[in-house]
Structure formats: structure tokens, C-alpha cells
Structure 1
């Protein structure tokens, strides 16, 4: 069989090169359109803070200013030379109360995948937890969603599925959750898997109750929620909390899917839990304690806690 050699003329080369460039650009743009999502920003706020993000999709970072004023937090966003106040759905400028033992938490994340991130706020109003979501509609930042839940999370953000926003409440020994997708500038309820181990909620419930039982619960560590790969440095955190002789009260939590398998199922999740600690020797002393956890899926688990805590800090 003869080897056929193809010689390209100059005019063919001049045609082919722009065609290849065009195809590569189209592939890139399609990828950006369907799979684009901004890297989320998570921030615990305890004082005046400036957060940078592109809030109008023009490719230039803007500034979100969070200001503490007395017992309140106020928010403003500067886009070029224009200032937008964050006004709540009840027409108030207070986006959350300020308490030194309960930090404001802000997550900036593009769940709509339109290159314009939404602003998720977790805080408090009086003694109650608070969640708000602000979205830019082209003329203002609108408070499109509010509730008094204390659990907020995100899944399907590391794959090509539609991102899901999960909000709910931990109350006693149970965690009730509701699942949403962001569609047409609104939150639409989406069917949620009714599974005790979904995103590790059974493990998190056990962990919260264990921490709230310290220091007396120190001898009753629920070992079924911890991975055998948990290091001694991680378990030292529990010893430290127990030795501080506080009464711990859960305040709120944020979770985020970190990795998923080829089928889109979550197998590694980060959780960040806020607790208020009352000194048992002086009840007037109150501090915030934030505990960060990494949970991994263990398909060989012999109990219902399929997600195990592998890291704690």
C-alpha cells in the first residue's frame, strides 16, 4: 500500500488556521455558557469588611462594603461610580444584627450561572438565626429570599448539573432541609432526597449534640461518625473544647460540596459550624467557636452514617 502524502497550499493553510481558531473559541464559549460558575467566596464577618467580586458581569471586580453600626450590620455595593444599598424585603437597611459571639457569614456565589453572583447572608435577628439572599436585577440588589433557618448549603456546584441551594433548620436531634434551584430570578422548590445520610446530616446532627453536651459528654464520643483516618491533631480539638469548661449552643452552619463522582453524587463535603460558648464559671462571658469539618463518603459503612468526619479544625 502506498503512503499518500498531502501537500497543503498556502491558501488552504490561510483558511484552515482561522477555522481551527474559530472552532476552539466556540468550544470555549459553549463551555463557559453551560458550565461556568464563579469560585465561591465564604467570609465570616466580625468587623467592617470589604469583599471583592464582579457583581454586574462586566468582568471588573466591584466592592461589597459591610459596616457595623451599633448592633447592626449595613451593606453597600459600589459598581464603578454608583453606590447600591442592600435593602431588605421589609424595606430595612439592617441586613443582620451584630453580636460579638455570632459572626455574620457571607457567601458570594453564582448559582444562576449567568456570571453574576448572588449574595447569601447568614446572621441573626434578635435571638433568631437569619438567612437572606440578594441578587442584582440590573438596577438594584433585591432581597429575593429570607427566612429564619440555621442551615445553608450548596451541592451540584462541581459538576454540570444545575446548582442546588439547600436551606433548613437544626432543632434538637433533627435536621429538616428544603432544596431549591435558582430559576428566572426566583427560588424554585426542587425534590430533595429523603435520606438520613444525605450530605452527612445524620453525622452532623450527632456531632452538634456531642459538642453541645461538652464537657460531660467527653467520655461518650460517637465513634461511628469519625473516619479511622482522623488524626490525633484533629481529635485534640475536642479535648481543647472540653477543657475550656463552656456550655456550647449551636447557632448556624454552612456546607459545600467539594467533590463528586462521575455520576454527580457528592462524596466529599465541607461543613462550617458556629457555636456560642458560655463560660460555666462566669455566664457573662460568651465567645464564638467555629468548627470546620470535612466529611467523606464511606460506602462500606456498617451503619447509617455513610459520611464520616475525616478532618476537623
Structure 2
């Protein structure tokens, strides 16, 4: 494959995102609704009282899926089941708040007249309040809100992945395969590397990636060979019918038409993708919803 065309993704210009748009609202996929049904995993994993609190607290922030709030609780303290509720940074309680942040955003969730950082109801309502104030309202910037909650891109990915696992999947789907999860794990580990036109990454002795180099390397790590160029990856499929809910690991494509694909990203759940965007922008997570979106493929079809 000629390297002349390997960096087609570099032609993808920054485009305005659809403010307030979500994956579910546009394509029926992801976790974009505020009240997605709990998956069997959620029912088995989340204590009933906590699930009720997550649902009620998320309802105070239109556009914040309760599954995202629940995923924060899972990642932070396993829904309060981790007895060590004080982090090295001094974060406290089931939702791991720093004292100063809780002072600014704390909510009296159980209505007893006191906002208590260690009280599950207060902590969960406060987390919803903080996420809402940080960009989650109307689903405008879920990943940005999570990054404000914990300044770690891998944390954002873990929470979004967990949120998808807590959402009832498409009944025709068996969920993401091991290969898809492996590809996402690989891509997550590359976050922060520079964009490099034609770049295939450290495995090829290069310091960065372009968009299709990242997607090919991610699936190579999972033992699946896909073409090098974004257009060829789209053509190779298997292509998802329009409206099919996206799954973790799906490749999402952009361009001016299906014969002019200029960019590809790797879907990680919650309406987000990992991609190598363009010159000057490192590998990072972003919303996959853009006007130039043309469709998705599922290389790791179960």
C-alpha cells in the first residue's frame, strides 16, 4: 500500500460539533439517552439502592445518562464497596471528592439538611451536579465533564467503556468481542502520542500515528489485519447498516462521500472515539458525532 495515501486523515479539518447531539439521538447507538435500560451486568453489579440514586441524581442534569454516573461510581469505589475511601490525593467518599470541590458543588441529596461527602446520596447527587456544571448538561461534552472530574484521559475511557457495559445492548448483538476490547485497550494506551502523517506508531519505529495508522495498529494488536488507508478500511467492512447501535471497537468513518473517506476513529462507548485527529493534535478522545460522519464498520465481528 502506497504511503502517499496513508495520511488521508490529515485532510480532515476541525469541524463544529453538533451541540447537544448524542449518539442515540442521531443514530440510535451508544448511551446517548438519559434513561437507558440497565444491562444484566448493571443489574448484577450495582447495589439496588445505588442504582436508584444514580437514576434520580442523573435526572437532575438533562443529557447526563445515569449509566455514566454509575460508571464513575464503579471506577472510583466500586459503588462504595471499596472500604478505602480516601485516595492518595485526599479524595474522600463513595464518589471520591476533594474537599474543595465538594464545598463548591456539594448537594444535600437525601434532604437531611447537610451535604456530607461520605453520604452516598449526597455524594452521588453532588457528582451529577459537578458533571453537569463541567459540560454534561444536554449531553454537550460528556468526555470533557469526565476529564474535569479526573484529569486523566485513560480514566475517561474507562468510565465510558463501563457505562456502555451498564446499558442494555442491541438485542441482536452479543456485545463487544475480546478482539474489539483489545483494540480499544491498545488505542487508549497511545493517547497523548503526536499526530504524524503516515505514522504507524512505535511498533514501526515511529513516534506517532495518523488516523488509519492508529486503527490498523489497534486491530493488529488484537490479531486482526485490516488495510492501511482509511478508505480501504471502510471498503473492507463489514459495514454496519445505518441506524445500527455502535459497539466498543467499531471503526467510525468521515469524509465527503463513501468514495472519499478522509478520517477514521475507534469507537469507545458513550458517543466517544479515540483518534489521531490532525497535525498539531495528539491522539485523544473526542465525540464521534460530526456532520461528516458516513458510517461504521465492525472488523472484530463476533
TM-score normalised according to structure 1 size:
0.28
Flag the structure with higher strand content.
1
TM-score normalised according to structure 2 size:
0.28
Flag the structure with higher helix content.
2
Structure with larger RCO (C-alpha < 8 A, sep 6+): 2
Larger Rg: 1
